[in-house]
Structure 1
Amino acid sequence: MSKLVEEFNDYRTRMNEVILSKNNLVMKRLWNLDTNTYEEGALDKKTKEMLGLVASMVLRCDDCIKYHLGKSYELGVTTEQMYEIFAVANIVGGTIVIPHTRRAAEYWEELQTNAQ
């Protein structure tokens, strides 16, 4: 696994454990709601992750972008599909999204490298 991907996953896991260990009911409910939102429903998981990625790019949340890139990769999103997702996010969000697209492309390349 690349250093970039490993560092993100390790940090996210570690800090989620810290947050959830405080036993705050609202935070636990929020985490549960997030998990359930991306479960199979009228939309499949892959579509929901792609929607989450576009929203994250438009909102300019790099951690969220990395998370949804990883999930999209796991669910079989292709590079061609990914660049269409990037295009939608940039049209919706405007040119302010371009720096996030660069970082997203870098992370996507790292995910691809891990598979080889």
Structure 2
Amino acid sequence: MNKLEDLRTRREAAHRRLLALKSRTYRSFLDMERATYADGALTKKHKELVAIGISVVIDCESCMQWHIEQAATAGASFQEVLEAVEVGIEMGGGPATVSARFALEVMDSIFTGQPPATTPDN
């Protein structure tokens, strides 16, 4: 099992376990998550892009994987996700470039078969 599959498997297992344990705190977290990512002044897609940048800065691999997947499902393009990662790099400085490497691996797994978009300075 590769790292991305392992992260997903572990996240899903923990989710099922916390639900089975009837964790009120976890249920409250899920309610907050639903409210947070619901369309409002910002769409779900845009909120997920914000979360990607934050995930890069805090170096949370599971977060990067989840929010990149969610952004793609919400209609984000490879280029939009890349720019969110770039915002994270800028906000986090040098250490965020290490996180960005993992985000690129996730992007490659989600956007398979799509040629990477070019940026104006390429």
Offset, 1:7: 3.8
- What's the TM-score once normalised by structure 2's chain length? 0.82
Counterpart for residue 50 of structure 1: 49
Q: Compare 56-65 and 79-88 and name the one that shifted more.
A: 79-88
| 1:37-91 Cα shifts (integer Å, max 9, x gaps) | 1011111110010011111111111100100010111122112222211111111
Counterpart for residue 118 of structure 2: none
How is 1:12-91 mapped onto 2 (pairs within 5 angstroms)?
12-91=11-90
Task: Give the conservation status (yes or no) of the 8 Å contact 1:5–1:111.
Answer: no
User: Aligned residue pairs: how many?
Assistant: 114
Mapped pair 1:104 → 2:103 = yes
Mapped pair 1:94 → 2:112 = no
- % identity of equivalent residues: 23
Measured on the aligned residues, the alpha-carbon RMSD in Å equals 2.0
> 2:112 aligns to what SS in structure 1?
helix
Amino acid at match of 2:44: K
Q: Which 5+ residue runs of structure 2 have no aligned equivalent?
A: 115-122
Offset, 1:18: 0.4
CA distance in 1: counterparts of 2:9 and 2:100, whole angstroms:
23
Q: Compare 82-91 and 62-71 and name the one that shifted more.
A: 82-91
Moved segments of 4+, more than 2 Å: 2-11
CA distance in 2: counterparts of 1:5 and 1:113, whole angstroms:
14
> 2:16 aligns to what SS in structure 1?
helix
Greater helix share, 1 or 2?
1
